[in-house]
Structure 1
Amino acid sequence: MELELRHLRLIVTVAEQGSVTRAAIALGLTQPALTAQLNRIDKTFGAAVFTRDQRGARPTALGEFVLGRAKVLLPAMSALVEDAHRFVAGADVRTRSVRVGTASTALGGLFVNRLISELEVEVTSVTLPDVEGVTDQLASGALDVALVGLCGNAEPPAADGVRWSRVSTDPVFLLVPDEHPLAGRPVVTLADLAEAEWFGVSGAGCFQRCFVTACARAGFTPGKVSEADRAACVDLVRAGHGVALVQPTFPDTPGVSVVPLADVPLQWAHHVGWHDESTTLPVEGVVDAAVGAHAEAVSRSSPRFVDWLAKA
């Protein structure tokens, strides 16, 4: 069987519904017909896309990979069809549609806003779990441009046709509960938190290794270390379960305080990327949008970061 877009739509619907039965109803199919389609899809891929049992349907590792690609390809195809209809009708189709990917960055929304307003494009955006996935999609042409974050000591992965430009390199700051003894200090050291449980220690690039190395230089081995997104870090830190490492553009948030780390032991960098052949956008405009997004985030960040920049 040759894979078609309708098969991707089936996969997305099953994942959204969490059940073959519910997905069949949503698609207007019988359950046996949908099951037969899924079996043919599994055969095409060479492995199962879903684990199906009495509890429902859950994506396998292959399924998560396929869903990530499907959620980029389906909107892109819909945009193509809409633009084609507008072209046939004689409408202005000069507005370009751009596929944007982000990973490990808090600047994604600001970046997309600037692409829309400054370059006058329509944007389809997707957030991916890692920089490697973003690079793969840039290389395959599934994405036109991307904005990613990773350890300041690392560079994004290399791939044919993919170009990267570093946008910023910032210090990593500490997030503690407001009532923490260190919350009011102008700076703290890693050694001050030798007994802490750590959140937000991203695996992007070499950041985890750099964090452990920085702790070793400070004279201790960190205890429990966990990855967590920004919202989870706030909730966990506010509840007193530990401290978190955060990007310095973190805004003032009730219940938690952002504190600089002395001597900048850790850094976080943002990179903007594009593919030489798949994007029709001016590279200078894409880079300017990324730089502007970072500057806007800095203007909204905690006063601690603004003060740190003034003294740096």
Structure 2
Amino acid sequence: MDLEVRHLRVLCAIADAGSLTRAAAALGTTQPGLSAQLRRIEAMLGGVLFARGRAGVVATPFGELVLDRARSVLPGVDGLIADTARMARRMSVCDRVRVGSVGAPLLGRLVLAVKALLPEAEVTARCQHSPVTLLDELAADRLEAAVLGDHPGRRLPHRDGVVLHPLATEPVFALLPAAHPLARLDEVPLAALLDEDWAVPRPDGDGTREYWSSECAAAGRRPYSPYEAEGRPLVELVRAGLAVSLCQATFVEVPGTAVRPLAGNPLWYRHVLAWHRDGPLARHGDEILRRLTAGYEETCAATPAYARWRARHDRRGTP
């Protein structure tokens, strides 16, 4: 009988649990079966690995040597398994593609791009408020691509194996009740908004709320935010005349709301396309990026407030 990787995992499980009974439960086996397996491993290696006692088991000096080597070997083995699995998926015919998006206008464009490039694949999509959650799912191979977003000074964190490619950077606009006096202005001073009650998203991994707050503080003071909401509930609070808020420049006005640029463009938002470096979309990354960029331009042209802003401003100065 030769020593196998699974034997090293068993030894580490016993050491971590400190008890054969607890280790057996964690491994999904019985305590007598695990004891017999441990005896066979000890016979292979030629020494006693654990001292048994009433309180459980403790590694012997010989066992400590084996455990040190096992714990140095297993991460490399796990990495090899994960890397080869990702490469095998990349080389195989892709029959399912999972994509995600934050609350941005590009999810439909991403799905269309994937369907055009991989017409035989089933495409599924899901949305999350936090881009960090989607980023973690990409790194864990639970998504193949996603549209994310971040802000200056609060860039998305690095994740091994995930490619991040900026799509566009746009200003953050004011979201107002349609009947609000500030809605009559072409551009709204951020300081003027600070006299109003705000609706803000809950604190999350993307740092949006913290970014808004820090920039408002630089303009004079932090906003009073009695309402914590996001998505449709936030829009409804604004439409009811209870609060003001901020939104992406590509946000589509709904009846009862008004979207206006902020004077001086103090806040910015960046759209980012992400995909797994070893995933089935890796070889299509550049083409998906091209299609999403074209789609973004179409979205901008169809968003009146942002189209007017773009006509008046030189976008080369964006962060």
TM-score (norm. length: structure 1) = 0.65
Asked if the contact 1:171/1:264 (under 8 Å) is kept, the reply is yes
Q: CA distance change for structure 1 residues 154 and 294 in 2, over 3 Å: closer, same or farther?
A: farther
Residue 44 of structure 2 is matched in structure 1 by none
- Residue equivalent to 1:308: 309
Which residue is 1:100 aligned to? 99
- Contact 2:132–2:206, Cα closer than 8 Å, also in 1: no
Q: 2:131 matched to 1:131?
A: yes
Q: Sort the Cα spacing of 1:193 and 1:304 in 2 relative to 1 into closer, same or farther, 3 A.
A: same
Amino acid at match of 1:296: E
- In the aligned structure 2, how far is the partner of 1:225 from the partner of 1:297? 32
Deviation sequence 1:15-50 (CA, Å, 0-9, x none) = xxxxxxxxxxxxxxxxxxxxxxxxxxxx97xxxxxx
Q: How far is the alpha carbon of 1:288 from its aligned partner?
A: 1.7
Shift in alpha-carbon separation, 1:106–1:183, aligned structure 2, 3 A: same
Aligned to 2:232: 231
Letter of the 2:112 partner, please give it.
N
Seen in structure 2, the aligned counterparts of structure 1 residues 95 and 159 have a Cα distance that, compared at 3 Å, is: closer
Residues 248-270 of structure 1: CA deviation (Å, up to 9, x unaligned): 11123211111110111111111
Q: 1:174 to 1:273 in 2, by over 3 A?
A: same
Which residue does the alignment assign to 1:284?
A: 286
Q: Give the aligned CA root-mean-square deviation in angstroms.
A: 2.5
The answer as to whether partners of 2:102 and 2:131 remain within 8 angstroms in 1 is yes
Q: Is the 8 A contact 2:130 2:206 kept in 1?
A: no
Conserved 8 A contact 2:147-2:273: yes
Unaligned segments of structure 1, at least 5 residues: 1-42, 45-92
* 1:124 counterpart letter in structure 2: T
Tell me the equivalent position of 1:212.
213
Q: Within the alignment, does 1:114 sit opposite 2:113 as a pair?
A: yes
* Residue 268 (structure 1) aligns with: 269
Q: Tell me if the contact between 1:119 and 1:285 (Cα under 8 Å) persists in the aligned partners.
A: no
TM-score normalised by L of structure 2: 0.63
Give matches, 1:39-54, under 5 Å.
Answer: none
Residues 104 and 131, structure 1, Cα contact 8 Å, conserved in 2? no
Compute the displacement of 1:200 (Å): 4.1
Distance in 1 separating the partners of 2:293 and 2:252 = 18
> Is 1:169 aligned to residue 169 of structure 2?
yes
Give the match's secondary structure for 1:132: helix
Tell me, yes or no, if structure 1 residue 192 matches structure 2 residue 195. no
What residue in structure 2 maps to residue 241 of structure 1? 242
Distance 1:244 1:168 in 2: 22
Find the residue that maps to 2:166 and give its secondary structure. Answer: strand
The verdict on how the C-alpha distance between 1:177 and 1:165 changes in structure 2, with shifts beyond 3 A counting, is same
Aligned residues: 222
CA displacement, residues 38-85 of structure 1 (integer Å, 9 cap, x when unaligned): xxxxx97xxxxxxxxxxxxxxxxxxxxxxxxxxxxxxxxxxxxxxxxx
Pairwise CA distance, 1:105? 2.3
1:160-187 residue CA offsets vs partner (Å, 9 max, x unmatched): 1111001011100011111101111010
CA contact (8 A) 1:153 1:267 kept: no
Structure 2 CA distance, aligned partners of 1:287 and 1:248?
20
Q: Distance in 2 between matches of 1:108 and 1:152?
A: 22
Higher-Rg structure is 2
- The ranges of structure 1 where at least 4 consecutive aligned residues each deviate by more than 6 angstroms after the TM superposition are none
For structure 2, which runs of at least 5 residues remain unmatched after alignment?
Answer: 1-24, 27-91, 314-319
In 2, the alpha carbon distance for the partners of 1:105 and 1:149 equals 8
1:252 — aligned with what? Answer: 253
